[in-house]
Structure 1
Amino acid sequence: MKGYQPRDLAVHGVRVNAVQAAFWCTPFVPRPLRATLLRIDGRPYPAYNDIKDVEYDLGRFSAVVQHVQSDPFAPPSRCYVRVPLAHAAFPPECFSPPARETALRDWLTRRFHAAAKRAGGGELLVDLPGQHVLDRSSVIVDRSAAAAGLPGGGAIEARFTVALPARGRSICGEWAAQIFSETLPRLVHEALLHESTDHSALMAHLCSVEDQQAARSQLAGRGLVAFVADGSVLPRATGASDRPMDAASAVPFSSPPSLRVTLPVPNAGSLTGMGLPRGVTLIVGGGFHGKSTLLEALQVGVYDKVSGDGREGVVTDRMAVKAASIIEALEGGASALLLDEDTSATNFMIRDARMQALVSADREPIRPFITRVRSLWSERGVSTVLVVGGSGDYFDVLMLHEYSPSDATAAAKDVAARIAGGAPPESKADRGMPPTPRRVLSAPGLTAGMKTHTGRASIRFGDEPELDLGGVEQIVEHSQVRAIAEACLRLGGAARPIDDALAELEASIREGGLDVLRPGWRLGNLAAPRMLEVGAALSRLRGLEVEGCVGGRG
């Protein structure tokens, strides 16, 4: 029609033009899929297997039902869609450098989840990310040989689950056809195509992640263990929420002048804030003045954050560990230890003169941390950041008062010179660090394909006792726990040193993505943990035997 212009419409509560509406509302379900669903309508639930493992062409994308649930009450069916890169039409700057591609996949997961939530009904579910931008299995960019022939030389593959509908235990074929013909195309259009994306918001997300990784990569070369940008909002909304406190209520972070550094980054130009030097740093201050809040921001600074989190400018050395077990952390190659005196055993932190007089050193096998902290740095190059309120025996001090930091090192040294105390001579006689043992995995204890159940901070393998990961505080998402469970199953039969096994696994994931954890399954609910957390899980497995040591580090 001459002079026709697409007018704005509201389709399923989202503003679109007529051309987009036509895409959303056209029934794309192919004849073979619809015919099969109608043929099995009313039949017993296992007949849904007739639609399994067939790639159906749904117009601008294809869909596959990879696994059909055993009955309506079992975990939902696993599916995925593939959108050729040429149809998705995201520009090249979204894929390079690699930090941007990881951030793009995270962005698409969030949009796919939000679109599914808006659709309602609960039949179709997408893994829910938190505040952290992680390597995920929910959306991948497939450039494999199998995908090379697609337009654009590859595809965006998005994984999700569908609760295939039933009445009792009988198939609802028409309802299932509606999911594939109406709901799924709408979600793909809303979430996985560039034409439906707010490009400026997308680029802000990608550039923020790229800047965070660039800042983190500079820490070692600048002699820093962590960096906190001025203006960062560290407090969270509530104790049960990881979202930021309202900016009007929060005190923005401001670096002490003596610790202020500037890091160049590719998109924002530069970030200015506090650089925590390598070595031993003490965070002190009165109760409820922000010490633990700062430490909690540092411990998750090993991960990138979403734009608007408030902690995008907090970056920490990737190998820093909130140490539940120091030997375990050292075995995993930790570069820094993050400790809070409030959650540490008193006899672990220090033994005062009176206790040493009462219980002599030859009767106490536990060496207090104060006798090791300096040699950890001088002999191993392992830094320590310690929140402390009850002991003045560690110095290089950052003072927090009403959430504002100041460099109190000079004042602390003056106090140490004027006031007798500190660690007694016996404790100060640092005996040096013994070599870290290299433990060897022996009896498998776990078998591939073993049934697992994961909680937010726990794993159960078959009938084995529950594996509690509550003390491994740098696990930030349930999806990481699922990946750790898969990693443990993969490594369960490894008869080699733990550190070698973890290094090989990390290299495999870097090369082949999270799909290497269970080849052929296309699991869409995994997020990459660090190998430090996988090692921590292995150390807690009761059924996994560990046979001796082979040499040691240090």
Structure 2
Amino acid sequence: MPKTSNDLQTKLHAIHQKGYPAYKELRGTYQFPNYLLYIDHVQGDPFASPSSISVEIPLKTAGFPADYYQKSYTRIALQDYLTRQFEQQVNRYSFRAKGSGKSGLISVTHCGQEILERSACQITKNSIIARFFVGFPANGRRINSIELEKIFFDFLPVCVEKAFFYRNQNTKVVEQVYFLAEDQYFLRKELKRLHLTAFVADASILPRQSGVSDKPLKESIPFFAPDSLAIELTLPHKGTIRGLGIKEGITLIVGGGYHGKSTLLNALESGVYNHIAGDGREYVISDDNGVKLRAEDGRFIKDVDISLFINDLPNKKDTHCFSTCDASGSTSQAAAIVESMEAGSSLFFIDEDTSATNFMVRDSFMQKVIGRSKEPITPFLERARDLYEKAGISTILVAGSSGAFFHIADTIIQMDCYKAIDITASTKVLCKENPLPKTSATEFHQPDSYRIMSTPDFQTKTSRNPHASHADRGLKVKTHDRYTFSIGKETVDLRYVEQLADFEQTSALASMLRFACESLIDNQLTLDEVAKKLISILETKGFSGINSTSYLSCGLAMPRKQEIYACLNRFRRK
């Protein structure tokens, strides 16, 4: 049974000005008038990572219409909205309680432009659970419980009331969150029905403010589809919407420098996620299995069959089971394609600028100088058509220097001063006048995958008991930034996994990899089997299934399966 809020107040008064470790006596559950307060973890001192706190509000008390959270995609959208509302509220009170170090900090997840499932807010069958961090106040290392009392009894009730109670929301805004989620889900279904890889609505704002801000660029030129490629769709709530429908197959985006080629591709890459209203890309929707491919010099590759692209190496190294600790641009891109095929990707995004030139294309003069028998690489140019026709994988490719790609493209879009123009017909006439030399690529085959997911030398058998002491909980993980984390003594580098949208996705990947190392890898499973087990656990148990402690804290966001596979593939192991 939870204790009462009065019990918490009594404890706070009793420990005032004691040594900081006395704060640990507060751990537990307390019943407040409209919610339960959980003190899940107490920081060791005022300068340590802040304490993990959560509140649980009954759905009946919160009062949101049931339709808003009964479907998974509307539930995630509502959770995202509530997290943003809660952040707005707690920001007004953070550090208003005073003290040393992190005293008075109140923080919750800061959401970006994408709508992601997060541990910060979860709607269960009966309640809304919000998780956040609080810096317990102290003077030096002496408890200042009077300031903590302000947080729990003055600040937090106001934040919870304003963020999580329907009666205090702008109901029209909440309704629009629900409507947008339904429209975006409808668009994703329409892509499959109409055999499209992506849709870009007219009047979308594609450019971003800067390299460090993903917000829409003010006063930018809106996107409009050329008439020949435009389609109209009738959404459940927004009604009729017109935009660019990109068909399955090979789509080429061309144009001069700074005319918007990469801007369009970046918007399409990001379209694997839903975006919030006002983002400018909320109706830019791509196949959610789409993956961005690029060269990755120096990356780790383990037992990947890259023979579809690379064969007959001078050192006689077997490319049917290829490994390296320091990949070249071409081998890394070949491996990324095969690994993405294993992950079930049905769409590739490629920018010529970030690709290995020798992997993408070999011009006719080079073929005359260096014959086929002396070149181990079968370029992507010669495989793209087979990837679509035999493996069902479409490609959206940005090219700025090589005209060879015109010959394999089904659709060609020219970006001219941020205006999209369909030049497919006129370019195909030129292609007939300037044919490519015949090539003799080897027969297409589906790459094999029997890779055992082994572990580095640092791995030892560890406890999975969530109630074990911190020292016994196994591998230590730490997320450094949006693209890197450490596990044990190994660093996992995801800087070229460009569709990672959030720091919290990387934190979730770190937790998944730790769980896999501690619970799955010793069973001699293949990498594909490990990935599928992780995905299954997440689908059935959520973040709790991969958590290493008895409580779940704020700070995790759900990655796609493509990023899960990418993380496992880049984990340096034996």
| TM above 0.5 | yes
Query: Which one of the candidate residues 358, 379, 382 is aligned to 1:347?
Result: 358
Asked if 2 retains the 8 angstrom alpha-carbon contact of 1:331 and 1:436, the reply is no
Post-superposition offset of 1:155: 1.4
Asked if 1 retains the 8 angstrom alpha-carbon contact of 2:504 and 2:556, the reply is yes
Cα distance between partner residues in 1 of 2:516 and 2:538 = 13
1:549 alignment counterpart: none
Cα distance between partner residues in 2 of 1:347 and 1:97 = 47
**Is 1:126 aligned to 2:108, yes or no?**
yes
Post-superposition offset of 1:419: 2.9
Post-superposition offset of 1:503: 2.2
Asked if 2 retains the 8 angstrom alpha-carbon contact of 1:375 and 1:433, the reply is no
Cα distance between partner residues in 2 of 1:460 and 1:504 = 22
Query: Which one of the candidate residues 120, 125, 150 is aligned to 1:138?
Result: 120
RMSD over aligned Cα atoms:
1.8
Cα distance between partner residues in 1 of 2:511 and 2:233 = 37
Query: Which one of the candidate residues 441, 449, 455 is aligned to 2:453?
Result: 441
Post-superposition offset of 1:434: 4.2
Asked if 2 retains the 8 angstrom alpha-carbon contact of 1:375 and 1:430, the reply is no
2:324 alignment counterpart: none
Cα distance between partner residues in 2 of 1:408 and 1:260 = 14
2:486 alignment counterpart: 460
Q: Which amino acid aligns with 1:410?
A: A
Q: Which region of structure 1 is more displaced relative to structure 2, 304-313 or 69-78?
A: 69-78
Post-superposition offset of 1:456: 1.4
Query: Which one of the candidate residues 486, 493, 497 is aligned to 2:526?
Result: 497
Q: Secondary structure at the match of 2:208?
A: coil
Asked if 1 retains the 8 angstrom alpha-carbon contact of 2:39 and 2:54, the reply is yes
Summarize the alignment of residues 290-301 of structure 1 with structure 2, pairs less than 5 Å apart: 290-301=260-271
Post-superposition offset of 1:301: 0.4
Asked if 2 retains the 8 angstrom alpha-carbon contact of 1:231 and 1:253, the reply is yes
1:179 alignment counterpart: 151
Asked if 1 retains the 8 angstrom alpha-carbon contact of 2:199 and 2:286, the reply is yes
Query: Which one of the candidate residues 38, 44, 49 is aligned to 1:64?
Result: 38
Post-superposition offset of 1:436: 4.1
Cα distance between partner residues in 2 of 1:433 and 1:373 = 13
**Is 1:417 aligned to 2:432, yes or no?**
yes
Q: Which amino acid aligns with 2:438?
A: P
2:322 alignment counterpart: none
**Is 1:331 aligned to 2:331, yes or no?**
no
- Structure 1 residues 436 and 261, CA gap change in structure 2 (3 angstroms): farther
Cα distance between partner residues in 2 of 1:433 and 1:336 = 18
**Is 1:192 aligned to 2:164, yes or no?**
yes
Cα distance between partner residues in 1 of 2:443 and 2:363 = 17
2:563 alignment counterpart: 533
Segments of 5+ residues of structure 2 without an aligned counterpart are 96-103, 295-335, 465-473
1:4 alignment counterpart: none
Summarize the alignment of residues 160-309 of structure 1 with structure 2, pairs less than 5 Å apart: 160-246=132-218, 249-309=219-279
Q: Which amino acid aligns with 1:128?
A: H
Asked if 2 retains the 8 angstrom alpha-carbon contact of 1:515 and 1:523, the reply is no
2:535 alignment counterpart: 506
1:150 alignment counterpart: none
Cα distance between partner residues in 1 of 2:271 and 2:442 = 31
Asked if 1 retains the 8 angstrom alpha-carbon contact of 2:53 and 2:553, the reply is no
Deviations along 1:441-481, whole A, 9 cap, x unmatched? 133765664221111111111322x2211100000110111
Post-superposition offset of 1:331: 1.5
Post-superposition offset of 1:534: 1.2
**Is 1:483 aligned to 2:508, yes or no?**
yes
Post-superposition offset of 1:262: 2.2
2:444 alignment counterpart: 432
Q: Which amino acid aligns with 2:266?
A: E
Cα distance between partner residues in 2 of 1:98 and 1:399 = 38
TM score, norm. by length of structure 2 = 0.84
Cα distance between partner residues in 2 of 1:528 and 1:87 = 27
Q: Secondary structure at the match of 2:246?
A: strand
Q: Secondary structure at the match of 2:210?
A: coil
Post-superposition offset of 1:101: 1.2
Q: Which amino acid aligns with 1:353?
A: S
Cα distance between partner residues in 1 of 2:53 and 2:94 = 18
Q: Secondary structure at the match of 1:205?
A: helix
1:374 alignment counterpart: 385
Cα distance between partner residues in 1 of 2:417 and 2:364 = 33
Cα distance between partner residues in 2 of 1:264 and 1:514 = 36
Cα distance between partner residues in 2 of 1:334 and 1:439 = 19
User: Structure 1 stretches (4+) deviating beyond 6 angstroms?
Assistant: none
Cα distance between partner residues in 2 of 1:462 and 1:441 = 17
Q: Which amino acid aligns with 2:569?
A: S
Cα distance between partner residues in 1 of 2:444 and 2:221 = 41
Query: Which one of the candidate residues 400, 412, 417 is aligned to 1:402?
Result: 417
Asked if 1 retains the 8 angstrom alpha-carbon contact of 2:350 and 2:398, the reply is yes
Q: Which region of structure 1 is more displaced relative to structure 2, 187-196 or 88-97?
A: 88-97
Summarize the alignment of residues 149-160 of structure 1 with structure 2, pairs less than 5 Å apart: 154-160=126-132
TM score, norm. by length of structure 1 = 0.87
Q: Which region of structure 1 is more displaced relative to structure 2, 524-533 or 119-128?
A: 119-128
Cα distance between partner residues in 1 of 2:484 and 2:26 = 34
Q: Which amino acid aligns with 1:59?
A: P
Q: Secondary structure at the match of 1:276?
A: strand
Q: Which amino acid aligns with 1:505?
A: L
Q: Secondary structure at the match of 1:450?
A: coil
**Is 1:383 aligned to 2:409, yes or no?**
no
Asked if 1 retains the 8 angstrom alpha-carbon contact of 2:94 and 2:107, the reply is no
Asked if 2 retains the 8 angstrom alpha-carbon contact of 1:60 and 1:87, the reply is yes
Cα distance between partner residues in 2 of 1:88 and 1:38 = 31
